[in-house]
Amino acid sequence: MSKIRLLSPRLANQIAAGEVVERPASVLKELLENALDAGATKVEIDVEEGGVQQIRVRDDGIGIGQDDLPLALSRHATSKIYTLDDLEGVATLGFRGEALASISSVARLTMTSNDSESSMQGWSAFSEGREMEVQIQPVAHPRGTTVEVRDLFFNTPARRKFLRTEKTEFNHLEEVVKRQALSRFDVSFYLRHNQRGIHALRACKSQAEMERRIASVCGPAFMESALFVEHEVNGIKLWGWIALPTFSRSQADLQHFFVNGRVVRDKLVSHAIRQAYADVLFHGRHPAYVLYLELDPNIVDVNVHPTKHEVRFRDGRTVHNFLFSSLHRVLADVRPGDNPAPTQYVQQMPAAVPADPLARGEFQGQASMGLQSHGAAVAAPAMFGGYSLSPAPSGGDISDHMQASRDFYQAPAPSLEAQGSEEVPPLGFAIAQLKGIYILAENAQGLVVVDMHAAHERITYERLKLAVDGEGIRTQPLLVPQSMALSAKEVDGAEQFAEEFAKLGFGIEAAGEESVLIRHIPVNLAQADVLQLVRDVLADFLTYGTSDRVQQQRNEILATMACHGSVRANRRLTIPEMNALLRDMEATERSGQCNHGRPTWTAMSMAELDKLFLRGQ
Ligand code: ADP
Ligand code: MG
């Protein structure tokens, strides 16, 4: 007898199910994707006992005709692609034609559908993990489809054992609903658990309604400190909302990214975004965002993973650079009272200061108020003591700039009258210094409190970066070229990216099949562990097509210098000196956070102060 045998359809499907159906949430994800692919405008989800007992999804999409119904449940049966070419530019969420077959091999599945607008005559198909034969019977059903999945893993006890508590499974289900709800603002979603209403998200018709949906899905605190982003270059478009760095998370749990409407977790994407936040985020914290990338489906491969959570970009490096530069710019531009960029890069959200931000364990106190006041003009920094932030003159040493920065705050102060009839700038005018640490200022809305060391540190740091950028990256030859052992693949990579290495100040050439010679290194990194750095940069190039490690190392050094070169606590500043610092903050990129990502200022409006004193209540 032959040793090789064909698997029974049921076993084949159960094996395939292992890839797609991990838990109730994965079932729901597939059912929701099908409903959306069917053009539903309204999706109702009913869940019993964390989805293990039952998941029912009802949609008002195009439905399935009587003849197609049994096919829908068979493996490799799909209405979404017919040829390989269709796969190239696939625009639907599904296309593998195996979700329903997989689910019905490990649960009891009933699918009821009607594809006619005019009659209530629908058909119901039932399948329960048998040899996949399907019985069909007539039932009344409006146009659309209802899928009911009961007793998940009833015939695969080993899988059932991996299920967690009802609450945990439900949390996963809810997460799936939230993500799909964020992916399609034009669709209504209703979620009930054990007959209790959990979410009722009506279709959104305006940006304000979209923002309300995000607030109910991601929490109002996110929306309060979110910036709207929109950027398009050469047919690639990014839009959505990113939280200010001062609203960060201890976990990467508020990161929603969609590629052409598909929920995606992609390391290239998260790397690019992390890099955009690198200079402003408090150590160990994670940024929060809801972002949409839209690009020609022909340049993304969605057929990389059975659950379609990952994608592959044909030109990953372009996408990485596009994401990084779009977000980096937006974050750098966040300044107290700054005008939105003319391109509508950033739009200010209606912001309300949270009643008790600290209780939520988030840094976010300052976010909202400065951003509202974008109408106010920023006084030219040059007005105050002729000091300016313009890029460093070429040549000159970094220490000159450090000195200049220290000198400034000892410079003879301009008089307050100089402001005369000027509009009140966003951070207002200084009234006092508190305990040698904080500057108290008054602006149009009320009180502003500034941590003067943190603020000055950021200003000095940004100036140092400008100075070094102005010089360009200089390179120095090593006395003795360093040889370095690498794998053959890495040596290929090093050659392929030789030009990129040169741009970063490295001179690297292949010295054999498994070694390279390092001849030049960037000047200001003479102290760094060169071999490790080259290894890391190369790994970045190979994975993301780009690397910011050299800049990161350099920035670390500059940040340390800035810290030592900035006004310390307990330095008495005169009022004009304090005003000059405030004006500097308004003119400096990223001045809302110190170099470590902590906020540099916070504000309290008159309304908030009045509330504290129960005034007018
Ligand atoms: P895929 O989504 O990859 O095509 P599925 O197994 O999820 O594979 O579904 C098989 C087919 O059943 C789909 O191609 C579609 O034609 C049909 N189908 C599934 N769910 C629905 C639905 N809610 N409304 C209309 N048609 C559906
Ligand atoms: Mg599907």
Reply yes or no on whether the pLDDT at 384 is more than 50.
no
Alpha-carbon span 18 to 108, nearest angstrom: 16
Distance 25 CA to ligand 2 centre (A): 14
Closest listed ligand to the CA of 97: 1
CA–CA gap between residue 588 and residue 590 (Å, rounded): 6
The angle at the Cα of 448, spanning 447 to 449, to the nearest 5 degrees, equals 120
Strand, coil or helix: what is 552?
A: helix
Q: Which of 351, 86, 43 is nearest to 200 (CA)?
A: 43
Is residue 2 domain-resident? no
Residues 333-348 pLDDT 10s: 887 654 333 222 223 3
Mean pLDDT for the chain overall: 82
Residue 375 inside a domain? The answer is: no
Length of the chain (residues): 617
Give residue-wise pLDDT tens across range 34-56. 999 999 999 999 999 999 999 99
The answer to the question of residue 573 being in a domain is yes
Q: Among 161, 176, 201, identify where a domain stops.
A: 201
Contact call for residues 170 and 128 (beta carbons, < 8 A):
no
pLDDT score, position 140: 96
Could you identify the atom of ligand 1 that is nearest to the CA of residue 61?
24
Note whether 46 and 73 are same-domain residues: yes
Q: How many CB atoms lie within 10 A of CB 296?
A: 11
Shared domain for 15 and 139, answered yes or no, is: yes
257 shares a domain with 189: no
Looking at the structure, tell me whether residues 112 and 230 fall in a common domain: no
438 and 554 in a single domain? The answer is yes
pTM (2 decimals)?
A: 0.76
Query: Are 241 and 292 contacting, i.e. CB atoms less than 8 angstroms apart?
Result: no
Does some domain include residue 183? yes
Question: CA triplet 519, 521, 526: central angle to 5 degrees?
Answer: 125
Is residue 145 in contact with ligand 1, taking CB distance under 6 Å?
A: yes
The one-character DSSP state at 252 is S
What pLDDT is attached to residue 129?
A: 64
From the CB of 44, is ligand 1 less than 6 Å away?
no
Q: For 547-556, write each residue's pLDDT tens digit.
A: 888 888 888 8
Residue 169 domain-assigned (yes or no):
yes
CATH number of the domain within which 508 lies: 3.30.1370.100
What is the whole-number distance in angstroms between the Cα of residue 36 and the centre of ligand 2?
9
State how far the Cα of 301 lies from the Cα of 220, in Å rounded to an integer.
35
- Same domain (yes/no): 174, 270: no
Is there a single domain that holds both residue 528 and residue 597?
Answer: yes
Distance of CA 422 to the CA centre of its chain: 39
Ligand 1 atom at minimum distance from 115 CA: 25
> Residue for token digits 């002729």?
386
Q: How far is CA 232 from CA 159, 229, 248, 301, 332, in A?
A: 45, 10, 26, 21, 18
For residue 585, which of 378, 347, 431, 386 has the smallest C-alpha distance? 378
Considering every ligand atom shown, identify the ligand nearest to the alpha carbon of residue 17 and give its number.
1
Cβ atoms of residues 27 and 148 within 8 Å: no
CA–CA gap between residue 314 and residue 236 (Å, rounded): 13
Domain end position, chosen among 132, 166, 201? 201
Q: Cα 248 vs. chain centroid, distance in angstroms? A: 11
**Of 41, 76, 78, 127, best ligand 1 pocket probe by most atoms within 8 Å of the beta carbon:** 78
- 44 with 58, same domain: the answer is yes
What was the pLDDT predicted at 367?
33
Residue 307 Cβ < 6 Å to ligand 1: no
- Give the chain's largest Cα–Cα span: 102
Residue 222 lies in a domain: yes
Report pLDDT for 245. Answer: 86
Angle in degrees, 0-180, between the axes of helices 316-332 and 530-544, rounded to the nearest 10: 110
Residue that is last in its domain, among 201, 235, 255: 201
Same domain, residue pair 324 and 396: no
Per-residue confidence (pLDDT) for residue 526, from 0 to 100: 65
Question: Which has the minimum average pLDDT: 221-230, 266-275, 321-330, 353-362?
Answer: 353-362
Question: Same structural domain for residues 325 and 414?
Answer: no
Q: Please name the residue that has the structure tokens 């810290």.
A: 563
Residues 293 and 406 in one domain: no
For residue 395, give its domain range.
388-617
* 99 shares a domain with 189: yes
User: Which of the pair, 371 or 432, is modelled with greater confidence?
Assistant: 432
* CA pair distance 31, 22, nearest whole angstrom: 14
Residue 234 is part of a domain; what is its CATH number? Answer: 3.30.230.10
- Beta-sheet strands, E only, within 35-184: 42-48, 54-59, 108-114, 121-127, 135-140, 144-150
Q: Token pair of 577, please? A: 């000196």
- Counting Cα atoms < 13 Å in the Cβ hemisphere of 290 gives 24
Tokens 């005034």 found at: 615
Q: How far apart are CA 437 and CA 453, in angstroms?
A: 7
Considering every ligand atom shown, identify the ligand nearest to the alpha carbon of residue 90 and give its number: 1
Query: How many domains is the chain built from?
Result: 3
Q: Is residue 64 part of a domain?
A: yes
Residue 366 has a pLDDT of 37
Q: Is residue 571 domain-resident?
A: yes
Indicate if ligand 1 lies below 6 Å from the C-beta of 94: yes
- CATH code of residue 126: 3.30.565.10
What is the rounded average pLDDT of the residues 400-409?
A: 50
